[in-house]
Structure 1
C-alpha cells in the first residue's frame, strides 16, 4: 500500500528530533511531548543517527506493523561478515523466534505455538493467577509500605510464567533475571559492550536451561507450555527442539517484561490521577476498558523495528526497499487524528484499537494473558491498599534505561492496608 501524496524534498535534519533524545533521562521520564513534536513536525522522518526511518502517526504506524517485514535479524554468517562473530549465538536464537520472521516461516511457527497456547489454557489459569497475586500482596501489605516493582510487578508475572511453562516455580527469580537481560537487548539501541557480554551469557544459560527442561519433559511429561510446544502438530508439521527452546524464550521474556511495566506504569498513572483511581475503585466492572486505556495511555512497548519490503511512499516520503523503519506505537497511541483527547485518561473509552500489542500477523500472542494479569493486579492492589501514594518525591523516580520498554526501576509506595 502506498499513499498518493507527492514525494517531498528532504528537509534539513533537526538533531533534537532524533530518537536518541530518548536517552536523555528527562525525555525518557516523559517521552510524550517529544512524540507529539515528532508527529507534528516530522511524522515520517529519516533519522541519520539511527540509520532508520521513524514513523509516529497512528495510520502510518499501523501500516508499517501490518505491511512491512519483521525479518530483521542478520544470520550468524552476516554477523561474522559485519565483524561481530561473537553475536552469532544471539542471531541464531532470534532467527528461530517468530517475533523476527515473516511468512511462511512465521505462519508455520505461529500456528504451532497458538495450538499450544490456547485461550482455554489462559482461562483455566485465572483462579491460580489470582491466588498468586493475593499471596504476594499478603506479604506486601503488613507494614503499610512496599516497593511495588520488586515486591509485586516483577515476581508476579515471573511466577505465572514459570507455571505456564511447566518449570519449577522456585526458578522464577532466575527466569526474571534472564528476561530482564534479554529485554535490554530487544529494547535498546545504544551500543554497550558490557551488555553484549551479559546477553551472550544469558542466551547460553537460557538455552541450556530450557534444553534440560525438554529432556525432563521427555522423562516425566507434565502439563505446561513446553510440553505442549513439544507435542504441537499442525498439518503434519511440528517444532524442532531448537524452535521449541527459542519460542519458549520469547514467550518467557514477552510474558514478563510487558506485564511488569503495565502493572507499574498503570498504578503510577492511577496514583497521579486520583479521580480515575476513585472511579475504578467504585466501578470495578469497567476493569476491561480500563486495562485497554492504560495500555494506550502508557504503552509498555514503545517502538519496534521493521524493514521496507518494497519501495513505499508514506507521508510524502519515499521509503526504499531494504531500509529500516522504527514504528513508534506509543506515539501512534496518542495521535489526536485517531483518538479523541488522546492525552486524557478515559477508563471507559470505547473506540480504543490501540497499537500496544502490535497488529496483524505479529499481534502479541500472549496478549490475553497480559490482559488477565493486569485486570487481576489492578483490582487486587486497589482492594488491598487505600490512601495510595508514592513514598518518594516523583522527581526521584527512576525509569529503566530501556528506550523501547517503558517501565520504572522502582516504585516505593505508602498506603493504608486493607485485610484480604
Structure 2
C-alpha cells in the first residue's frame, strides 16, 4: 500500500473535492479515460473511468464491499467506535452476502414494480399540492421548494412517519453527502455526522415503539414484524437501514430532478422539444441520469487478486472506485456526442443506479418521481426561467452530485 501511495502523490488526475472538479467533473473524467482508465489515486485506491471496467466491477462477484476493513485501513482501528461508522457498517448498501441478501430480502417487496406503479396517483397529488402552494409567488428555489419536498413526502409515506412529524424532515439539512466521498472526513465532519446519526437513532427508536403499539401498512411495521418473527435482523440493523432508506429514498431523487432541470435549461432546444412532445419524458429521465448522474461513484474491494483490470493487476483487499458519471459519458458506449444532452438518445441505460446485487432498490421509484415532477412543472409553468443557469451553486460533495439551490421565476 505504501508503494501505491508514493507512486500516486504527484498525479493530479483525480482530485474530486477541488472546486473545479465539483463545478464540472466531466473534463477530468475525459482525461482519466484517455490517459489512465484504471488510475491509482493519492489515497491508494484504484479508480475506473471507462464503461467496460466500471460495469465489470459492479457485476463481478470477485469484488465486494468489506466496509469495516476499508474504514479501519483508512482511519485506524478505533473508527468503528464512532456512531456514524458503526451505523453505516449495518447498511445493506455496505454488506456482502449472506448479510446483504438477508437484509435486502426484507425490504425488496416494498419496491416491486407493481407497488411503485401504484404510487403514481399519490406522487402526482404531492406535486400538484406543492405547486399550488407556490405558483402564485412568481418565483421559487426549485431545490428546496419543489424537488426536495416530493421524495421526502413519499419516503415518509412508505416508512409510516406520522403527518405531524414531517415538517422537521422537510426542513432538515442535506449535509450527509460527504459520508460517501472517497476523501477521508475531518474530525469536525465526523463529529457532525455522529450528532445527526444519534438524533436519527433516537427518533426512529421512538417511532418503532409507536408502530409496535399501533401497527400500520408501512415498511417500518413490516420490518418490526419480521424482527419479532425470528432473528432476521437486529435492532441495530433495523435502525441503521431505516435511516439508510430515508436518506437514499430522497437524496438522489432531489438531485435527479434538480440536475435534470438545469440540463434542460442549458439546452434550450431539448427543453423546447420536451415541451412540444411530453411523451419523451420517460426517455428524457434516462438521459438526465446519464448526462449528469445524481450518484457519481460507488466503491468495491477486491476479494481476490485481479490479474487484469484495464491492464492493471490489483491485489486482494484493494479499494476500487467506480466512476459512474464517467462511464455514462464513455464514447465507446455513447458514440454520438456523449457530452451533449439528447432526450431522444436510444438505448441509454446508464450505470447511475449501480449494478449487480447492489443495484438500487428504489431506481424505478426515483424515475417515476422525477418523470411526474418535471413533466408537471413544464406543463403548469411553461414560462419558467432559471435565474442563474450559467453559474449554479453545487453542493461541496462528489459522490452525491447536486445543487445547493436552483432559483427560478415565471
Shorter-chain TM-score above 0.5: yes
Secondary structure of residue in 1 paired with 2:298: strand
What's the counterpart of residue 58 of structure 2?
A: 65
Equivalent of 1:274, from 250, 257, 268?
Answer: 268
Query: Cα offset for 1:349?
Result: 2.2
Equivalent of 2:134, from 135, 140, 147?
Answer: 140
Query: Cα offset for 1:14?
Result: 5.2
1:5-45 CA distances to partner (integer Å, 9 max, x unpaired)? xxxxx987752202x2x322222111111111100111011
CA–CA separation in structure 1 for the residues paired with 2:172 and 2:145: 18
Secondary structure of residue in 2 paired with 1:365: coil
What's the counterpart of residue 52 of structure 1?
A: 45
What's the counterpart of residue 418 of structure 1?
A: none
CA–CA separation in structure 2 for the residues paired with 1:405 and 1:191: 15
Q: Which runs of 5+ in 1 are unaligned?
A: 1-9, 416-420
1:143-166 CA distances to partner (integer Å, 9 max, x unpaired)? 221111111111221111111110
What's the counterpart of residue 3 of structure 1?
A: none
What's the counterpart of residue 203 of structure 2?
A: 209
What's the counterpart of residue 318 of structure 2?
A: 323
Q: Which runs of 4+ in 1 moved over 4 A?
A: 10-14, 74-81, 176-179
What is the RMSD computed on CA atoms of the aligned residues?
2.4
What's the counterpart of residue 124 of structure 2?
A: 130
1:298-336 CA distances to partner (integer Å, 9 max, x unpaired)? 100001111111111111111110011110000000001
Report the CA distance shift for 1:406/1:50 in structure 2 as closer, same or farther (over 3 A).
same
Equivalent of 1:150, from 141, 144, 147?
Answer: 144
1:251-303 CA distances to partner (integer Å, 9 max, x unpaired)? 11111110010011000111111111111112111211111111011100001
What's the counterpart of residue 391 of structure 1?
A: 387
Query: Cα offset for 1:398?
Result: 1.0
What's the counterpart of residue 242 of structure 1?
A: 236
What's the counterpart of residue 340 of structure 2?
A: 344
CA–CA separation in structure 1 for the residues paired with 2:180 and 2:405: 21
CA–CA separation in structure 1 for the residues paired with 2:187 and 2:379: 45
1:394-414 CA distances to partner (integer Å, 9 max, x unpaired)? 23x210000111111011112
1:183-217 CA distances to partner (integer Å, 9 max, x unpaired)? 33124624322221111011111111111111111
Work out whether 1:310 is the aligned partner of 2:304.
yes
What's the counterpart of residue 7 of structure 1?
A: none
CA–CA separation in structure 2 for the residues paired with 1:261 and 1:76: 27
Name the TM-score, length of structure 2 as normaliser: 0.91
Query: Cα offset for 1:179?
Result: 7.2
Correspondence list, 1:337-416, <5 A: 337-341=332-336, 342-392=338-388, 394-395=390-391, 397-415=392-410
1:211-259 CA distances to partner (integer Å, 9 max, x unpaired)? 11111111011111111222349x9863333322221111111111100
Query: Cα offset for 1:77?
Result: 8.7
Report the CA distance shift for 1:414/1:382 in structure 2 as closer, same or farther (over 3 A).
same
Report the CA distance shift for 1:81/1:51 in structure 2 as closer, same or farther (over 3 A).
closer
Does the 8 Å contact 1:79/1:85 carry over to 2?
A: no
Secondary structure of residue in 1 paired with 2:220: helix
Secondary structure of residue in 2 paired with 1:23: coil
What's the counterpart of residue 85 of structure 2?
A: 91
CA–CA separation in structure 2 for the residues paired with 1:86 and 1:229: 26
Does the 8 Å contact 1:116/1:229 carry over to 2?
A: no
Report the CA distance shift for 1:12/1:182 in structure 2 as closer, same or farther (over 3 A).
closer
Report the CA distance shift for 1:238/1:121 in structure 2 as closer, same or farther (over 3 A).
farther
Query: Cα offset for 1:82?
Result: 2.9
What's the counterpart of residue 3 of structure 2?
A: none
Does the 8 Å contact 2:258/2:406 carry over to 1?
A: yes
* Mean Cα deviation higher: 78-87 or 368-377: 78-87
CA–CA separation in structure 2 for the residues paired with 1:202 and 1:137: 30
Secondary structure of residue in 2 paired with 1:152: helix
CA–CA separation in structure 1 for the residues paired with 2:339 and 2:8: 29
Query: Cα offset for 1:173?
Result: 4.5
CA–CA separation in structure 2 for the residues paired with 1:100 and 1:275: 41
Q: Which runs of 5+ in 2 are unaligned?
A: 1-5
Equivalent of 1:34, from 12, 21, 28?
Answer: 28
